[in-house]
Copies of this chain bind each other. A is one copy, B any other.
């Protein structure tokens, strides 16, 4: 197919497709003549993945590029694919390190020990968590961390479900994509469900009269 059809099928404008090719997010089409190229289903699939990660996952294009590069490389151990997906999500906010972050990192390490989780506190997730704890304290809501254990228990459940999902895939390509999609879109899915659960929980707690 030519770029016009790819655009029609995927819903992405032609100039945007060209832009993604320039940015290295999408492989160029196979040239059939100096100014004519053909695209296949792989391009369409890739394009849909990019849009999903961008629109729903909210990842910046640069992060999407990194994830795709790791995904594509068959040399990369699967473990690193998961790591890359996780790392790309982290907004990587900068700020003065300070002792607050140190304290938070210790809290994270304690949590991991308490739960017996097999991961280091220095991993991307651990760093993100420490940053969240710092932000909570700086915003005057340090007591929110009391919910850490409840949250962790729920996260464990979700992670089990996620792993079950990717475990069902056989081809490496599918598996890798499953990890990425699961990590990124799963986050959005859970966030939406959590908001719905909030509505339900507060309707039950405060009663229907709170709506009027």
Contacts and interface: CB of A to CB of B under 8 A. Distances in A.
A158 B190 CA distance: 10
A147 interface: yes
B185 A129 contact: no
Interface string A116-148: 011100011110110111011011110110111
Interface stretch (A17-25, A27-35, A67-75, A199-207): A199-207
A159 B153 CA distance: 13
A113 to B, nearest CB: 12
A19 B139 CA distance: 20
Interface of A: 11, 45, 48-49, 51-52, 55-56, 58, 77-79, 82-83, 86, 89, 91, 93, 95-96, 112, 115, 117-119, 123-126, 128-129, 131-133, 135-136, 138-141, 143-144, 146-148, 150-165, 167, 177-178, 181-183, 185-206, 210-211
A201 B161 CA distance: 10
A100 to B, nearest CB: 11
A52 to B, nearest CB: 4
Contacts of A189: 129, 132-133, 136, 144, 147-148, 151
- Copies of this protein in the complex: 2
Given A93-B55, A118-B204, A128 B192 contact: yes
Contact of A188 (B77, B95, B112, B128): B128
Given A79-B206, A79-B210, A167-B205, A139 B49 contact: yes
By secondary structure, the A interface counts as: helix
Nearest to A210: B79
B206 A119 contact: no
A34 to B, nearest CB: 33
Nearest to A120: B199
B199 A125 contact: yes
Given A52-B136, A91-B58, A129-B189, A198 B86 contact: yes
